[in-house]
């Protein structure tokens, strides 16, 4: 038996309290978003990606292509618009890499300085490890 007020009880839903849907499709490439699941055989793609990333593969292809184009088109090569665009793209990618590596190095240096300023056992451990790394790179 329902209470007498059941007929007049309003149905209220608060924000985020309505129906919820969730995608429960299994993800084959959970750790690598670089490989499209629809691209060929996913296992082979993953193994090939572990050998050389797409960026490494494209970098090598670009270097070989520029070298071949410059040898095959010694006079026209300098005026070839596509070749010049490819060289500009390669130079821009190298600039991005250098900038990113410099940024990482600056961040590491900043973190090391913070640890050294704090002093204590961690600072001594860090100095010892950096000394080992320095000695290893001098050899």
Give the tens place of pLDDT for each residue, 119-129. 888 888 888 88
Separation between Cα atoms, residue 15 and residue 10, nearest integer Å: 16
Element (H, E) at 132: helix 120-138
Model confidence at 139, pLDDT cuts 50, 70, 90, reads: low
Element (H, E) at 54: helix 54-72
Separation between Cα atoms, residue 79 and residue 104, nearest integer Å: 37
Q: Which token pair is 45?
A: 């793609």
Give the tens place of pLDDT for each residue, 53-76. 888 999 999 999 999 888 887 666
């Amino acid at each position: 038996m329902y209470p007498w007020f059941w007929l007049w009880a309003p149905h209220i839903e608060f924000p985020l309290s309505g129906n919820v849907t969730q995608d429960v499709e299994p993800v084959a490439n959970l750790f690598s978003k670089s490989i499209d699941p629809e691209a060929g055989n996913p296992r082979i793609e993953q193994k090939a990606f572990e050998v050389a990333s797409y960026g490494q593969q494209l970098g090598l292809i670009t270097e070989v292509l520029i070298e071949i184009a410059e040898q095959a088109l010694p006079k026209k090569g300098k005026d070839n618009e596509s070749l010049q665009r490819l060289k500009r793209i390669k130079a821009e990618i190298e600039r991005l890499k250098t900038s990113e590596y410099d940024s990482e190095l600056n961040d590491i240096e900043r973190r090391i300085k913070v640890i050294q300023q704090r002093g204590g056992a961690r600072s001594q451990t860090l100095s010892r490890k950096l000394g080992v790394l320095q000695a290893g790179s001098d050899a």
